[in-house]
Amino acid sequence: MAGGVMARRLRVQGGVELLCAVLLPVVFLRVTGVTAGFVAAWVAVDAMLVVGACYWFARAVKASRGLPRTPNLGAFAVARIGLVVVLIVTLGVVVVDIAAGGDAVRWVAVVVWLFAVAEYVNYFHLQLSYQNAAELRRLLRRGRLVPAHLGRELARSVR
Give 59-81 pLDDT, tens digit per residue: 999 999 999 999 999 999 999 99
pLDDT at 159: 59
The mean pLDDT of 132-149, rounded to a whole number, is 75
pLDDT at 3: 77
Cα dihedral 103→120→134→12 (10° resolution): 90
In this model, does residue 45 exceed pLDDT 90? Answer: yes
pLDDT at 117: 98
pTM: 0.88
Neighbours of 43 (CB within 10 A): 18
